[in-house]
Amino acid sequence: MAHVILFPDELAQQQAWGVFLACGCVGELGDAPAFCREFLPRFILLTAGFDRFIAAVKDQQIQLAGIVKYRPPGTECPEAGAPDPQWKAIFGNIRAESLSPSITDQGKLRITISVEKSLGSVIPLAARLIRGASYRPEVPILAFEEDHRLIVISPREIVISRADDLMDFWIMLRTTVDFICEAHRYRFTVRPETAARMGVGATEIFRRLPGINCGRCGSQSCMEFASGLMTGKRVLGDCEPLFEESDPRYLASINWLLHVLGIPEHEPVSTDGRRGSSPVLGL
- pLDDT tens by residue, 92-115: 999 999 999 999 999 999 999 999
Given this model, what pLDDT does residue 255 score?
Answer: 92
C-alpha span between 145 and 133 (Å, rounded): 7
Given this model, what pLDDT does residue 246 score?
Answer: 76
The mean per-residue pLDDT over the stretch 5-14 comes to: 96
Given this model, what pLDDT does residue 79 score?
Answer: 87
The mean per-residue pLDDT over the stretch 204-230 comes to: 93
Is this structure's pTM higher than 0.95? Answer: no
Residue 37's closest CA among 10, 73, 75, 12? 10
The mean per-residue pLDDT over the stretch 244-269 comes to: 80
What percent of the chain stands above pLDDT 70? 93
Residue 123's closest CA among 211, 194, 224, 64? 194
Given this model, what pLDDT does residue 278 score?
Answer: 38
More confident residue, 232 or 144: 144
Q: Note the helical H segments in the chain.
A: 10-22, 50-59, 87-91, 123-129, 166-185, 202-206, 222-231, 240-244, 249-261
Residue 92 · residue 113 · CB < 8 Å: no
Angle at 246 between CA 245 and CA 248, to 5 degrees: 80
Q: What is the mean pLDDT of the chain?
A: 91
Per DSSP bridges, beta strands 94-102 and 134-136 are unpaired
Given this model, what pLDDT does residue 75 score?
Answer: 87
More confident residue, 274 or 67: 67
pLDDT at 258 over 90: yes
